[in-house]
């Protein structure tokens, strides 16, 4: 009887572990990755300074403003952006619209 109880406990624990692992795998497989759903960033230059992203200043500084990705050439440009974000977001939105238009025509 003791062996049966031990066997039953081992079986239940194993089943629980398997269930959690299987559920985690299913959730991971079902969730789309950000790269699969996000459009590529439409600009190759900083929206503040106009300098090339990834130029001599190093890789782009990536920030998020109200859920939207914005890339800058340096941290100083982030500070300038924060003074008047709508002015700079207009440039980003125009570039994104232009990119989308080219894709739909091609």
Kindly report, residue by residue over 54-84, the tens digit of the pLDDT.
877 789 999 999 999 999 999 999 999 999 9
R_g over Cα of the chain: 25
User: What pLDDT, on a 0 to 100 scale, did the predictor assign at position 28?
Assistant: 40
Chain-centroid distance, C-alpha 103: 21
**b/e sequence 40-74, b meaning 16+ C-beta within 10 Å:** ebbbeebbbeeeebeeebeebbeeeeeeeebbbbb
Mean pLDDT in runs of 10 for the chain (106 residues)? Answer: 67 54 43 55 93 86 94 95 95 87 64
What is the pTM (predicted TM-score) of this model? Answer: 0.59
């Amino acid at each position: 009887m003791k062996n049966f109880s031990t066997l039953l406990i081992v079986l239940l624990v194993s089943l629980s572990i398997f269930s959690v692992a299987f559920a985690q795998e299913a959730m991971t497989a079902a969730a789309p990755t950000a790269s699969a759903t996000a459009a590529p960033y439409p600009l190759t230059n900083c929206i503040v300074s106009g300098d090339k992203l990834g130029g001599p200043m190093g890789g782009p500084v990536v920030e998020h403003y109200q859920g939207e990705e914005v890339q800058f050439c340096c941290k100083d440009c982030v500070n300038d952006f924060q003074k008047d974000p709508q002015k700079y977001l207009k440039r980003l939105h125009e570039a994104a619209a232009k990119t989308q238009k080219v894709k739909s025509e091609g």
